[in-house]
Amino acid sequence: MNSVKAFAPATVANVACGFDIFGFAIKEPGDVVELRRCDEPGIVIADIIGDEGRLPRSAEKNSVTGVMLHMLKHLGIKDFGCEVVLHKNMPLGSGMGSSAASAVAGVMAINEMLGQPFTRQELLPFAMEGERIASGSAHADNVGPSLLGGFVVIRSYNPLDIFTIPVPDDLYCTLVHPDIEINTKDARFILKNEVSLKNTIAQMGNVAGLVAGLMKSDYDLISRSMVDVIIEPVRSILIPDFKEVKQAALSNGALGCSISGSGPSMFALSRGLENANNAATAMRARFAQAGIESAIHVSAINQGGAMILTD
């Protein structure tokens, strides 16, 4: 195969109470990666469209190509050569799993070009290496759902134990990206290493409640469980008017609202598209009141995840 194109969607990680263990994919936006086979061995970034020249052009430092190098090394392939074009369709440091979408599109594309030596599930550890390149931490709550689709739970990192759970058909996500930038690396650095027993108990209750609520389509339980007593209180100070934007979502039909990934994006979950749209309008209006422009994305949960594009 001489050329391949792959798409990988944006994701909402943590989902309030599930720091590093919950994430889901949305339909759009997402990154697109094009690979073109060359005779010369090595992986070369030929172009990145949409990053305003900000992303690393060195193959080792960019999450889209870093993961390919890991895969080739693992397979012991030395004579493979390709050019990479990355269509960067989401902002950097967004909390929308931008680095993860590139990594996932990268592993999908090269796996296809090599004749699928790995199953989709087996691609996950390679995609996680992209997160290590971007933020210094190989967390799977963005790459997992971007690759596999659906609502993902990471029960364990060592050994890796990851699975998807069903969600209600009528569940919609509102994702609001304010025009500010927060790097995941920085947002992880400010977290405390110790958690009180009281907060651990509260968080475990909410984690269990959210899983059960999603699996039983119990919207009240989903709503009651979308509470994060550990991470949100620390990170929310990085987002201007966080409390007010959250309140705007909750007062306009959302079941719950929190930080998407490490921020600055905020997400809400709602029952039905109308509530999700109302929450979007209210959240954007509240950010505007603080003098901050924002982009909104309203979407059902993306059950398919990344895909090879044929056109």
Ligand X SMILES: N[C@@H](CCOP(=O)(O)O)C(=O)O
Residues near ligand X (CB under 6 A) are: 13-14, 19-20, 95-97, 139, 141-142, 184, 187-188, 261-262
Selection from ligand ADP, ligand X, none that 102 binds (CB < 5 to 8 A by kind) is ligand ADP
Of 98 and 270, CB closest to ligand X: 98
Tokens representing residue 117 in the block: 């030596």
How far is residue 128's CA from residue 67's CA, in Å, rounded to a whole number?
8
**Residue 92 engages ligand ADP in binding (rule: CB under 6 A):** yes
Residue from 5, 17, 18, 62 in contact with ligand ADP (CB under 6 A): 62
Work out the end-to-end distance of the chain between its first and last CA atoms, rounded to an integer number of angstroms: 14
**22-37 and 3-13: which strand pairing?**
antiparallel
52 is catalytic: no
Of 87 and 284, CB closest to ligand ADP: 87
Query: Is there a binding annotation on residue 210?
Result: no
- Using only the alpha carbons of the chain, give its radius of gyration: 19
Query: Is there a binding annotation on residue 94?
Result: yes
Query: Is there a binding annotation on residue 102?
Result: no
Between CA 29 and CA 175, with CA 18 as vertex, the angle to 5 degrees is 25
How far is residue 120's CA from residue 81's CA, in Å, rounded to a whole number?
22
How far is residue 21's CA from residue 167's CA, in Å, rounded to a whole number?
16
Query: Is there a binding annotation on residue 95?
Result: yes
CB of 235 to ligand X, least distance (A): 8
The answer to whether 164 touches 149, Cβ cutoff 8 Å, is: yes
Of 65 and 262, CB closest to ligand X: 262
Q: Which stretch binds ligand ADP (CB under 6 A): 75-83, 95-103, 158-166, 231-239?
A: 95-103
**Residue 55 engages ligand ADP in binding (rule: CB under 6 A):** yes
CB of 243 to ligand X, least distance (A): 19
**Residue 184 engages ligand ADP in binding (rule: CB under 6 A):** yes
Query: Is there a binding annotation on residue 98?
Result: yes
DSSP state for residue 156 in the 8-state scheme:
E
Select from 126, 106, 123, 98 the least CA-distant residue to 26: 98
Bond from prior residue into 29 cis (ω within 30 degrees of 0): yes
200 is catalytic: no
Which residues here bind ligand ADP, judged by CB under 6 A? Answer: 55-56, 62-64, 92-100, 102, 133-135, 183-184, 261-262
List the catalytic residues: 131, 184
